Amino acid sequence: MEPETTNRFICDEMLARLARWLRAAGYDTGLVANGVDDRDLMAEAISDDRLILTRDRTFLERRGAKTHVFHIVSGKLDEQVREISKALGIDWMKAPFSRCLLDNTPVRPANDEEMADLPWSRRSMTGPFTVCPECGRLYWTGGHTRRMRDRLETWSRGIK
């Protein structure tokens, strides 16, 4: 039986990079803290209607794994992307940069007070400028964002 298709994920600690990229694409993606018990993680996935993405094979033996766990074989990011894109129908351009990459909270437009925290070197840039209401991190479009968007677009077209 295949895992249920969902737009909400939890990545284990081995998939922290993948979790950040799923967040960059706009997916609600939790990241498990080190040391969380597998039973607790499974209970959270079931109650929050999330799919656990893991490289841990033993997770597949847990009750509920057939519908709430997707096992990723590869340790390389591009191959992980290929695996989940094909199996789960991931749209890498779903809602780019709409979530905080650090804590997964949806970002919102930054207000004038928050813009005052913007580095001087960035104040002359045109927006959009967004902020995470949870951690206060400011986001803006720069070279790093353009490189990330290019990568998301490449994944969206399918990795060759």
Q: Answer whether residue 152 shows pLDDT above 70.
A: yes
Residue 4 pLDDT: 45
Q: How far apart are CA 70 and CA 16, in angstroms?
A: 15
Query: Across the strands, what pairs with 31?
Result: 11
Q: How confident is the model at residue 160 (pLDDT cuts 50, 70, 90)?
A: low
Residue of 41, 57, 56 lying closest to 9 (CA atoms): 41
Q: How confident is the model at residue 54 (pLDDT cuts 50, 70, 90)?
A: very high
Answer with the one of 54, 88, 122 that is the final residue of a domain.
88
- Tokens 């509920």: give the residue: 64
Residue 5 pLDDT: 52
Residue 1 pLDDT: 33
Q: How far apart are CA 102 and CA 132, in angstroms?
A: 9
Q: How confident is the model at residue 2 (pLDDT cuts 50, 70, 90)?
A: very low
Residue 98 pLDDT: 96
Same structural domain for residues 18 and 49? yes
Same structural domain for residues 72 and 25? yes
Percent of the chain with pLDDT over 70: 94
- Tokens 């949806």: give the residue: 106
Question: Would you say 126 and 148 are in contact if contact means Cβ atoms under 8 Å apart?
Answer: no
- How many domains is the chain partitioned into structurally? 2
Side chain identity at residue 49, one-letter code: D
Q: Answer whether residue 3 shows pLDDT above 60.
A: no
Does 97 fall in a domain? no
Average pLDDT over the chain reads 88
Same structural domain for residues 17 and 84? yes
The reply to whether the predicted model has a pTM over 0.85 is yes
Write out the residue range of the structural domain in which residue 40 sits: 8-88
Query: For 104-131, what is each residue's pLDDT tens digit?
Result: 999 999 998 988 887 777 767 777 889 9
Same structural domain for residues 43 and 83? yes
Q: How far apart are CA 44 and CA 80, in angstroms?
A: 23
DSSP assignment of 61-130: GSTTHHHHEEE---SSHHHHHHHHHHHH---TTSSTT-B-TTT-PBPEE--HHHHTTS-GGGTTS---EE
